[in-house]
Amino acid sequence: GAVVSQHPSRVICKSGTSVKIECRSLDFQATTMFWYRQFPKKSLMLMATSNEGSKATYEQGVEKDKFLINHASLTLSTLTVTSAHPEDSSFYICSAPLQGYYEQYFGPGTRLTVT
C-alpha cells in the first residue's frame, strides 16, 4: 500500500510556543491531504482538508489561525499549532488518498504534549 510519513512522532512543548508537524506521501503524489486529531478513546475528528496550491478547508469549529496548514508540494503538507496550550495536547494524524481512489492512507501520527 501507499506510504505516508509524519514527523515528529512525538513532541513536548511549552505553552505559548508553536509546533510544526510534517506529513509526506513517500511514493505517490497527493493533491489533497487530511489532518485529524484524536482524543483518547475517541475516534478521529477531521480538522481540515489540505489542498496543494490553494488554501486549506477547515471544518466547523476549527480555528484556521490556530492551526495553520500549508500544502507546499504534491508530497508535503504541514500543520503548525500556533501558541500551543495544554488543551491542544492530542494525537494528530494526517492522511492522503491515492489519486482516483477513495481509501485513505494514514501517517503514523504525532503525539503532541503541551506543558
Partner 1 sequence: RKEVEQDPGPFNVPEGATVAFNCTYSNSASQSFFWYRQDCRKEPKLLMSVYSSGNEDGRFTAQLNRASQYISLLIRDSKLSDSATYLCVVNGNTNAGKSTFGDGTTLTVKP
If binding is defined by CB under 8 A, does position 46 make contact with partner 1?
A: yes
Question: Per DSSP, what are the bridge partners of residue 113?
Answer: 12
Q: Which range, of 17-25, 66-74, 75-83, 101-109, touches partner 1 by CB under 8 A?
A: 101-109
Q: Which is nearer to partner 1, 44 or 82 (CB)?
A: 44
Contact present, 109 and 8 (Cβ < 8 Å): no
Please give the backbone phi and psi of residue 97, each rounded to the nearest 5 degrees, phi first. -95, 150
If binding is defined by CB under 8 A, does position 32 make contact with partner 1?
A: yes
If binding is defined by CB under 8 A, does position 55 make contact with partner 1?
A: no
If binding is defined by CB under 8 A, does position 104 make contact with partner 1?
A: yes
Distance CA 62, CA 105 (A): 23
Member of 69, 96, 112, 114 binding partner 1 (CB under 8 A): 96
CA atoms within a 13 Å half-sphere pointing along the CA-CB vector of 23? 33
What cell does 106 get?
Answer: 494514514
If binding is defined by CB under 8 A, does position 111 make contact with partner 1?
A: yes
Contact present, 79 and 92 (Cβ < 8 Å): yes
Residues at the site binding partner 1, with contacts judged by CB under 8 A: 1, 32, 34, 42-44, 46, 49, 91, 93, 95-97, 100-109, 111
